Amino acid sequence: MSTATHSLPRTIGAHAILITYTAIALFPVILVVMNSFKSRAGIFGAPLTPPTPKTFDLIGYTTVFGQGDFFHYFQNSLVVTVASLFFVLLFGAMASFALSEYRFRGNTLMGLYLALGIMIPIRLGTVAILQLMVASGLVNTLTALILVYTAQGLPLAIFILSEFMKQVSNDLKNAGRIDGLSEYTIFFRLVLPLVRPAMATVAVFTMIPIWNDLWFPLILAPSEETKTVTLGAQLFLGQFVTNWNAILAALSLAILPVLILYVIFSRQLIRGITSGAVK
């Protein structure tokens, strides 16, 4: 190994930069989690110190669990996120397979059309979407949210996945055809496992905005039955009094599921990268 790439000052420099970045990125999160375990006086008295025996208080969590149906909100968020993610990945992958595998008239145009959504924010269409949902009787259902989020996630998914699908060996697909596999089997059994790292990337990119979204739950599904966590947390934001303990506790809890999903997908990501490298 050459010493140039492993010199001590370089290593220290690189680590210093990375650690600083991590600290900056994690700071708000840590602040939220830390303060969620403090009493109201503790939060306002010394917001930057970790909870001490004197300021430690679980009042935020007890409020959250006592008031409103927070567990239910969680469930709603999870259902919406997982279902939308499932449909984005399924339809996104199928569309990209068709775009990259089959030659048909208007292929390029179709690809462009499907990718256009990346540049046009779906919120511009909120009024039309609301009218549509009212007309189809889907207001205040989770279905409405799932439909909107699926539409929102598809363009980027198709854009990324079709690039990766193009790289899957043609020979492999052809070998499958000669062995009599149907196009569906080729897609699900041969191609999908090979683009798993790309799917994980898309999943991460798609998941976080859906979980954090406040806009569409507020407009399309604000009922008690269909509230998501982000919407539910608004309960504690009053016009005159804001229950900071409860908000911070709710936010801390809201981090957990995304974190779990993220860990699952990033495993896939890393596995994909290393399996490609070792060959």
Partner 1 sequence: MGSLKIENVKKAFGPVEVLKGIDLQVNDGEFVVFVGPSGCGKSTLLRVIAGLEDSTSGRVLIDGGDVSVTPPAKRGIAMVFQTYALYPHLTVKNNMALGLKQAGTPAAEIERRIKIASAMLSLEPYLERRPAELSGGQRQRVAIGRAVVREPKLFLFDEPLSNLDAALRVNTRLEIAQLHRRLKATMIYVTHDQVEAMTLADKIVVLNAGRIEQIGSPMELYNSPANEFVAGFIGSPKMNFIDGAKLGETAKTIGVRPEHLTVDANSGAWKGTVVHAEHLGADTNLYLDCEKAGLITVRIFGVYNAEPGSVLYATPDAAKTYRFGADGKVLR
Residue at token pair 């080729």: 186
Instruction: Establish if 181 lies at the interface with partner 1 (CB under 8 A).
Output: yes
What are the structure tokens assigned to 3, written together? Answer: 């010493």
| Per-residue interface string for the shown chain with partner 1, residues 122-161, x marking contact by CB under 8 A | ----------------------------------------
What are the structure tokens assigned to 218, written together? Answer: 């507020």
What are the structure tokens assigned to 251, written together? Answer: 């936010």
Q: Which of residues 65 and 188 has its CB atom nearest to partner 1 in the complex?
A: 188
Distance of alpha carbon 95 from alpha carbon 259, whole angstroms? 29
Instruction: Establish if 194 lies at the interface with partner 1 (CB under 8 A).
Output: yes
Q: Which of 20, 169, 242, 274 lies at the binding interface for partner 1 (CB under 8 A)?
A: 169
Residue 69: count of CB within 10 angstroms of its CB: 14
Only one of the segments 43-51, 60-68, 170-178, 252-260 lies at the binding site for partner 1 (rule: CB under 8 A); that segment is 170-178
Instruction: Establish if 172 lies at the interface with partner 1 (CB under 8 A).
Output: yes
Distance of alpha carbon 162 from alpha carbon 198, whole angstroms? 10
Whether 39 contacts 59, CB under 8 Å:
yes
Instruction: Establish if 110 lies at the interface with partner 1 (CB under 8 A).
Output: no
Alpha helices, H only, 46-179? 59-66, 70-101, 107-116, 126-135, 142-166, 170-178
Q: Which of 122, 132, 190, 208 lies at the binding interface for partner 1 (CB under 8 A)?
A: 190
- Residues in contact with partner 1 by CB under 8 A are 169, 171-172, 174-181, 189-190, 193-194, 275, 279
